[in-house]
Every structure is written in C-alpha cells, then in structure tokens.
Amino acid sequence: MRSAARRTVAVACALVLVQPAAFPTPAPARGRYDWPLAPRPAVVRAFDPPAQRWLAGHRGVDLGAAGDAAVISAGAGTVRFAGTVAGRPTVAVLHPDGIATTYEPVRAVVRAGETVSRGQVLGYLDAGHPGCTVAACLHWGARRGSDRTATYLNPLALVGALRVRLKPVGAWPDQARG
C-alpha cells in the first residue's frame, strides 16, 4: 500500500499589531478589564514606547473625552497612588494580576490604599493634557513590574482593542516542493 506524499509549504510571517486610529474601536471589552471612560472613547494618540526604557516615548494612549468626564477604574484593584506627578494629577491602580494602570490628568476622589472595583469612579478628567487635540484627553497607561523594572504595556490590549494580523516576511512560494 502506498502512502500519499505530503507537501508542506512554510511561509515566514511577522506579527503586526495594528493601532486603531482616532476613532472608537468596535471590539468589545473582554476579560477583567474595561475602558476607563464611558461611552467608549476615541483613541487620539497611540501607544509608542521608546526603544530603551530611558528614552522619550508615549507609554500609554490618549483617549478623547469631555472635560470633567468621570474616569473609572479599568479593573478591580488597590489604589497605589493618588496625587500629583510632574504637576499633573494622577491615579494609579494595582490589579491582582500584577498590572498597574495609570490615569492622568485626573482629580482623584479615591485615596492610596483604597480597594476599587472595575467601573468605580476614580476621579474626574482635567482638560489641558499636553498634545491633546480634542476638548480633553485621558492619558491611560499600563505596566507590569516594579518602578525600576517596569515593562510598559499597550493598555488597549487589556480591553481587546488591538487587531493582530500576520503578514508574510518573504515572497509566497509558487508551488510546494516535495
């Protein structure tokens, strides 16, 4: 009995994360996290981390909203910080999975050490975020690890708002060779 020869075509692919432009993302929230503003905001400026941790970059996303909009906790956790950083009112929440989310500029109604639930109001958005092209922007960040070893994450991944596409690295083969 003869077995049929199998042909395998190997194609190298690159993983490409596509950032949403300045429009609301249609993907629904998934898992333990949700958007920090309601209704779902437009992404005004995308995540653009630096090549090295000490270089300049945009370590979060800017979400467009109205001034004084309620800013809500993206997930359950403990308020790690509520105060001023570099002259801007900021709130940071540490979540049970080790991810810390940050929100600025936000006038806090919570205090450090307070336990918060997903969707709980953390404070109210101040207008005047540098580089914001709409009425007001919430700079929303996410990171894993301690202050000195933190890995910055794209917070849009927390809510399932990144589209992942595989693109070929080389040319597609015309036919399989066996």
Going by pLDDT thresholds of 50, 70 and 90, the confidence category of residue 9 is very low
DSSP-derived secondary structure letter, 152: E
Element (H, E) at 84: strand 77-85
Going by pLDDT thresholds of 50, 70 and 90, the confidence category of residue 174 is low
Residue 35 forms part of a structural domain: yes
pLDDT score at 80:
96
Domain that holds residue 149: 20-160
Going by pLDDT thresholds of 50, 70 and 90, the confidence category of residue 23 is very low
Residue 140 forms part of a structural domain: yes
Residue 8 forms part of a structural domain: no
Q: What is the pLDDT of residues 91-114, one digit of tens each?
A: 999 999 999 999 999 999 999 999
Element (H, E) at 15: strand 13-18
| CATH number for 80 | 2.70.70.10
Q: How far apart are CA 6 and CA 10, in angstroms?
A: 13
Tokens of 176: 């399989």
Q: What is the pLDDT of residues 123-162, one digit of tens each?
A: 999 987 777 888 899 999 999 987 778 889 999 999 988 7
Identity of the amino acid at 37: L
Residue 64 forms part of a structural domain: yes
Residue 170 forms part of a structural domain: no
The percent of the chain in helix, strand and coil, each rounded to the nearest 5, is 5, 40, 55
- Give pTM, 2 decimals: 0.74
Asked whether the beta carbons of 144 and 153 are under 8 A apart, the reply is yes
Sign of torsion, CA 134 61 38 42? positive
> Of 6-15, 41-50, 98-107, where does mean pLDDT reach its minimum?
6-15
Residue 9 forms part of a structural domain: no
Residue 118 forms part of a structural domain: yes
Going by pLDDT thresholds of 50, 70 and 90, the confidence category of residue 117 is very high
Higher pLDDT, residue 175 or 77: 77
Residue with tokens 């996290």: 33
Q: Count of domains in the chain?
A: 1
Residue 171 forms part of a structural domain: no
